Amino acid sequence: MPALSAMSSSKPALLTIRDAAERLNVTPRTLKYYEERGLVAPSRSEGRYRLYSEQDLERFARVLRLRSLGFSLQGIVELLKRPVEPMGDGRKGYSSESLREIEEALAQQVDALDARIASVRRELKEAQAVRGELSDDLDYIRRRIAGEKQETLFEARLAARRRRKSEGSEGSEGADE
């Protein structure tokens, strides 16, 4: 009998998604979510069931700890790319070099998001201008349907257009603040 127990202990135990979720105190859906995001890749059984190793559970636990500390998923991805190394006090952590690499990667992501935000703000400003023009056009059409004279409305449209231009030039001075 001892040979049998030695044989079974040589192969690492794999847990089903339900058992892994229970052990980590999360739902199976949470495990699937992080897998979908590429943070963990469990092995699969012949029947395509997810099977989690101890290493997978440690990685999940690390992801969950980082999320509880407020890290974004992108930040966690960057952290997981770097190895955790033994520190002098027996704990594990990131080397100074790894932390600098993580800092650089996250700073690049922040810069990319800042550029995207600026682009969206420009697009929003353009959309607001178009909306204003359409609103004026709609008002003109409604007033024409109501029977107002074209000449009177034409003067009102020109005045509205001049007003928008003057508001646009005044607003652009402080737009970057």
CB 17 within 8 A of CB 32: yes
CB 73 within 8 A of CB 50: no
pLDDT at 10: 53
Of the residues 10, 40, 71, the one at which a domain ends: 71
DSSP letter at 41 equals: -
Question: Is residue 76 classed exposed, middle or buried when 0-12, 13-18 and 19+ CB atoms within 10 A define those classes?
Answer: buried
Q: Domain residues for 48?
A: 2-71
Within-domain flag for 36: yes
Give the tokens for residue 168.
Answer: 């646009």
Of the residues 23, 41, 71, the one at which a domain ends: 71
Q: Are residues 66 and 7 in the same domain?
A: yes
CB 55 within 8 A of CB 20: no
Q: Are residues 63 and 117 in the same domain?
A: no
Within-domain flag for 62: yes
Indicate the pTM of the whole model: 0.50
Within-domain flag for 157: yes
How many domains, in total, are found in the chain? Answer: 2
pLDDT at 57: 92
- Cα 106 to Cα 63, 69, 168: the distances in Å are 17, 16, 36
Using pLDDT thresholds of 50, 70 and 90, give the confidence band for residue 3. Answer: very low
Q: Is the pLDDT of residue 170 over 70?
A: no
Of the residues 41, 71, 101, the one at which a domain ends: 71
pLDDT at 164: 74
pLDDT at 8: 45
Q: Please give the mean pLDDT across all residues of the chain.
A: 82
Number of separate helices (H) and strands (E) present in the chain: 7, 5
Best CA proximity match to 44, nearest among 9, 10, 17, 26: 17
- Cα torsion at 95, 65, 11, 29 (round to 10°)? -140
CATH of residue 28's domain is 1.10.1660.10
Q: Is the pLDDT of residue 174 over 50?
A: no
pLDDT tens string 105-122: 888 888 988 999 999 999
pLDDT at 90: 79
